[in-house]
């Protein structure tokens, strides 16, 4: 007999929409055509009083970054023997399907409290029309805890499909122990619901001239969804061995549910339920747009916990892959850290925000939760910014970019940016030192670390960002209709648009970002493919294509409910499309989209940069069976750049393995030769950059302040130039053509 229970837990943190853990490709089996054929699949969750839960939440949502839940938790016991149904395919593959329905849910997510599957087995989760699919998950998702948290699937129906090969080493063990019914917004909205309240909190994109924030520390801060119904902020933190162990520092109240959970064994289970999100950032400073949510990882283990200080240290069960571009922040346990101080956080699980304090940090007692005396740093009044629920666990950095604490709580708002408390790292050091200082040497600080700097890191290439005019993007339209995009489906019989890039030597493209305006009301019937081409002097060879199908739950304020079950294309946002396997390119390559079909009054396009901000056109299109540059098309005839940013890794030209940068520097050029993306050798984080004409004149010279940097190129006349990097007694020289 199948059983379930109910559990409501009030927490000190808040919500977020999760998208996908690291998955390994493939598709689930086709479902029967008629909906009734699947009716017997479903386990029905009982109804509960949503209004009463909202009333309880409102009572708990007090100051000090108070409680914010988004989901009602059902305790269940669904497994292969007591739920769903099983069948066997012709090749002997055993299939188990289980449907879960909770009427009115905005999304559903589950926790497998038992999870161990053999090599060759695959697990998928999806909604009833398979428009939102998670997986496949495989034996590589097994963990020592034998639990597995899974991201939400939008809507009030979820189907689990497990496929096990005929001759598997053992029978897979899967038990759905928790089902979480989201009854309100899974995250703070971007931007309608939060811009007014968060006007003082600048997103990362507002700091393009500060690579410490945008290129390093911003990559270290992550969003944590915890136990399926709440979230916090965390930070990847380095250790003195610099071995790439993926430790995450956060607040202990994120694990013990605001001190309502006292069993240490339960802490480990909660840590195992965490899903971690990378790079949820607005692509623009203003307006704030919804960021890409496709990079996430499932499950952590608990390494250190100190409730008297509010510290928790977690470790991801997998190392973040190279295209996630992780960065492990350094730390400082000095009692006198240097100013200025700044924080990076996800208030109400929106995109990252930055706040800072010029000076005036002091040691204090945060008495609201009975923490130890003098265990916290107190921010009396922020110079700029504030925090909110969901910022809990976020790092406080010193003037050198090292972590000195993490947020426990506070009372600041944009109107009154006063009184926030971060636990002091030195007060928690006894529990942290075995993990962050495993050598046991007498140290008080540790620098940050890029775990892929010893190989070949990934770069996000961007022809738009290289101009320094990101906030000037717009959607150009045809002359006689402002609703129809110039670089999308329009009357000119153009179906494919590409952005040109160039790499020196061989490279791998892991996926691409695309920033797009709203597509229209009938976006669900829009069919778009993401494409990668190669070719000299223009695209010619198709290397890869796949369907563009991001997901999002949209919320109707008028109806007080979510009206869509898949990620809407009817709003401005950034999405990331990961390729199943990296696409090999060399020299010139092109990334873009093909509009396969579009219903009436529905349009798709990437944002573009207006002609006045572009020095050289980088956009290509397919018109009348011919590839032409945008400037050569009679109806368009203007130079532009599309907001399509591939994530690229340089590789060795001989054997296609990552280049070891301790042998030489590397330079990747943007397609218009307007920007040089620089990666310095191992152990080098400073250099002098020089651009030299062939007659020996130094056209441009500037310092490079980080191991990875982008430098705008200022050549004014066409011709051959040299780029020279000087570091210590070494030089690296590369010839380029303008």
Residue 601 is encoded by which pair of tokens? 């009054």
> 335, 292 in Cβ contact below 8 A?
no
* pLDDT of residue 518 exceeding 90: no
Q: How far is CA 517 from the centre of its chain?
A: 19
Across 143-157, 275-289, 640-654, which has the greatest mean pLDDT?
Answer: 275-289
* pLDDT of residue 426 exceeding 90: yes
* pLDDT of residue 335 exceeding 90: yes
- pLDDT at residue 558, rounded to an integer: 42
- Which residue has better confidence, 331 or 730? 331
* pLDDT of residue 417 exceeding 90: yes
> 563, 551 in Cβ contact below 8 A?
no
What is the average per-residue pLDDT within 484-508? 92
Task: Give the pLDDT band (50/70/90) at residue 732.
Answer: confident
- pLDDT at residue 533, rounded to an integer: 98
- pLDDT at residue 698, rounded to an integer: 86
To the nearest 10°, the Cα dihedral for 195, 201, 206, 207?
Answer: -170
Burial class (CB in 10 A: 0-12, 13-18, 19+), 663: exposed
pLDDT in tens, 302-314: 999 999 999 999 9
Task: Give the pLDDT band (50/70/90) at residue 657.
Answer: very low
- pLDDT at residue 672, rounded to an integer: 57
Structural domains of the chain, ranges and CATH numbers in brackets: 4-182 (2.60.120.290), 202-438 (2.40.10.10), 458-649 (2.60.120), 663-737 (2.60.40.3080)
Task: Give the pLDDT band (50/70/90) at residue 33.
Answer: very low
> Percentage of the chain surpassing pLDDT 70?
83
Apex 154 CA angle, 152 and 159, nearest 5: 75
What is the average per-residue pLDDT within 449-469? 88
Across 25-34, 268-277, 648-657, which has the greatest mean pLDDT?
Answer: 268-277
* pLDDT of residue 617 exceeding 70: yes
What is the average per-residue pLDDT within 569-592? 91
Tell me the C-alpha distance between 93 and 82, whole Å: 20
* pLDDT of residue 716 exceeding 70: no
Query: Is 56 strand, coil or helix?
Result: helix
Apex 21 CA angle, 236 and 226, nearest 5: 65
- pLDDT at residue 670, rounded to an integer: 62
Of the candidates 677, 687, 685, which has an alpha carbon nearest to the alpha carbon of residue 649? Answer: 677
> 162, 147 in Cβ contact below 8 A?
no
* pLDDT of residue 622 exceeding 80: yes
Apex 295 CA angle, 343 and 78, nearest 5: 115
Element (H or E) spanning 650, and its range?
strand 644-650
- Which residue has better confidence, 112 or 59? 112
Q: Which residues of 10-36 are buried (b: 16+ CB within 10 A; e: fewer)?
A: bbbbbbbbbbbbbbeeeebeebeeeee
- Which residue has better confidence, 300 or 569? 300
What is the average per-residue pLDDT within 126-132? 84
* pLDDT of residue 499 exceeding 70: yes
* pLDDT of residue 10 exceeding 60: no
Burial class (CB in 10 A: 0-12, 13-18, 19+), 737: exposed
pLDDT in tens, 380-402: 999 999 998 889 999 999 999 99
pLDDT in tens, 69-89: 677 889 999 999 999 999 999
Tell me the C-alpha distance between 338 and 448, whole Å: 16
Please give the model's pTM, rounded to 2 decimal places: 0.71
- pLDDT at residue 186, rounded to an integer: 55
Cross-strand partners of 709: 678
Tell me the C-alpha distance between 101 and 124, whole Å: 16
* pLDDT of residue 15 exceeding 60: no
Lowest mean pLDDT: which of 36-45, 203-212, 310-319? Answer: 36-45
Residues 6+ apart with CB under 8 A from 51: none
Q: Which residues of 289-323 are buried (b: 16+ CB within 10 A; e: fewer)?
A: bbbbbbbbbbbbbbbbbbbebbbbbbbbbeebbbb
What is the average per-residue pLDDT within 95-117? 91
- pLDDT at residue 635, rounded to an integer: 81
Of the candidates 361, 343, 363, 334, which has an alpha carbon nearest to the alpha carbon of residue 445? Answer: 334
Q: What is the DSSP letter of 213?
A: I
* pLDDT of residue 197 exceeding 50: yes
Lowest mean pLDDT: which of 183-187, 274-278, 493-497, 513-517? Answer: 183-187
Element (H or E) spanning 266, and its range?
helix 264-272
């Amino acid at each position: 007999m199948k059983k379930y229970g109910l559990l409501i837990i009030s927490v000190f943190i808040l919500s977020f929409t999760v998208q996908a853990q690291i998955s390994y490709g493939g598709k689930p089996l086709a479902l029967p055509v008629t909906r009734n054929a699947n009716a017997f699949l479903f386990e029905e969750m009982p109804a509960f009083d949503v209004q009463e839960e909202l009333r309880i939440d409102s009572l708990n949502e007090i100051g000090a970054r108070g409680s914010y839940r988004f989901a009602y938790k059902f305790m269940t016991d669904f497994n292969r023997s007591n739920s769903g149904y099983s069948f066997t395919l012709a090749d002997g593959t055993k299939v188990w399907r289980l449907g879960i329905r909770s009427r009115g849910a905005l999304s559903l997510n589950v926790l497998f409290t038992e999870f161990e599957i053999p090599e060759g087995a695959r697990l998928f989760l999806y909604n009833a029309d398979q428009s939102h699919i998670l997986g496949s998950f495989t034996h590589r998702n097994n963990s020592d805890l034998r639990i597995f948290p899974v991201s939400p699937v939008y809507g009030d129906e979820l189907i689990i499909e497990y496929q096990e090969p005929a001759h598997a080493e053992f029978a897979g063990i899967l038990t759905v122990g928790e089902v979480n019914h989201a009854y309100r917004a899974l995250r703070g909205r971007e931007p309608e619901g939060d811009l007014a309240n968060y006007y003082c909190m600048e997103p990362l994109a507002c700091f393009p001239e500060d690579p410490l924030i945008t290129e390093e520390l911003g990559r270290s801060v992550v969003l944590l969804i915890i136990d399926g119904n709440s979230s916090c902020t965390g930070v990847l933190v380095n250790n003195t061995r610099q071995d790439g162990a993926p430790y995450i520092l956060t607040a202990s109240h994120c694990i013990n549910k605001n001190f309502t959970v006292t069993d240490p064994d339960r802490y480990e289970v909660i840590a195992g339920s965490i899903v971690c999100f990378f790079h949820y950032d607005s692509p623009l400073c203003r307006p704030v747009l919804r960021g890409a949510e496709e990079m996430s990882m499932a499950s952590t283990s608990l390494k250190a916990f100190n409730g008297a200080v509010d510290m928790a240290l977690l470790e991801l069960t997998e190392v973040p892959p190279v295209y996630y571009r992780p960065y492990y922040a350094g730390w400082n346990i000095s009692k006198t850290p240097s100013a200025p101080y700044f924080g990076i956080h996800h208030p109400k699980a929106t995109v990252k925000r930055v706040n800072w304090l010029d000076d005036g940090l002091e040691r204090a007692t945060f008495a609201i939760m009975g923490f130890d005396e003098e265990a916290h740093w107190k921010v009396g009044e922020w110079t700029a910014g504030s925090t909110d629920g969901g910022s809990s666990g976020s790092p406080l950095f010193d003037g050198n970019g090292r972590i000195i604490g993490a947020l426990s709580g506070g009372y600041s708002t944009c109107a009154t940016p006063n009184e926030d408390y971060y636990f002091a790292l030195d007060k928690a050091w006894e529990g942290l030192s075995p993990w962050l200082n495993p050598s046991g040497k007498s140290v008080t600080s540790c620098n940050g670390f890029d775990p892929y700097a010893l190989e070949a890191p990934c770069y996000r290439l961007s022809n738009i960002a290289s101009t320094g005019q990101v906030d000037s993007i717009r959607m150009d339209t045809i002359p006689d209709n402002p609703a129809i995009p110039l670089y999308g489906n329009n009357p000119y019989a153009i179906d494919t648009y590409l952005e040109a890039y160039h790499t020196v030597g061989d490279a791998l493209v892991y996926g691409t970002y695309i920033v797009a305006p709203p597509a229209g009301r009938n976006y669900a019937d829009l069919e778009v493919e993401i494409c990668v081409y190669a070719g000299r002097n223009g695209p010619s060879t198709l290397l890869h294509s796949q369907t563009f199908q991001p997901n999002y739950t949209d919320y109707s304020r008028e109806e007080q409910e979510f009206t869509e079950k898949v990620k809407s294309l009817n709003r401005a946002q950034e999405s990331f499309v990961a390729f199943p396997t990296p696409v090999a390119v060399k020299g010139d390559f092109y990334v873009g989209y093909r509009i396969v079909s579009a219903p009436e009054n529905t349009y798709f396009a990437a944002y573009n940069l207006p002609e006045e901000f572009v020095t050289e056109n980088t956009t290509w299109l397919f018109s009348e069976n011919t590839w032409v540059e945008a400037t050569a098309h009679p109806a368009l005839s203007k130079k532009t750049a599309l907001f399509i940013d591939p994530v690229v890794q340089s590789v060795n030209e001989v054997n296609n393995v990552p280049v070891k940068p301790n042998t030489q520097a590397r330079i990747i050029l943007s397609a218009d030769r307007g920007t040089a993306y620089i990666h310095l050798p191992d152990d080098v984080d400073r250099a002098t950059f020089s651009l030299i004409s062939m007659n020996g004149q130094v056209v441009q010279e500037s310092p490079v302040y980080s191991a990875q940097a982008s430098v705008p190129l200022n050549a004014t006349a066409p011709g051959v130039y040299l780029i020279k990097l000087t570091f210590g007694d070494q030089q690296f020289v590369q010839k380029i053509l303008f």
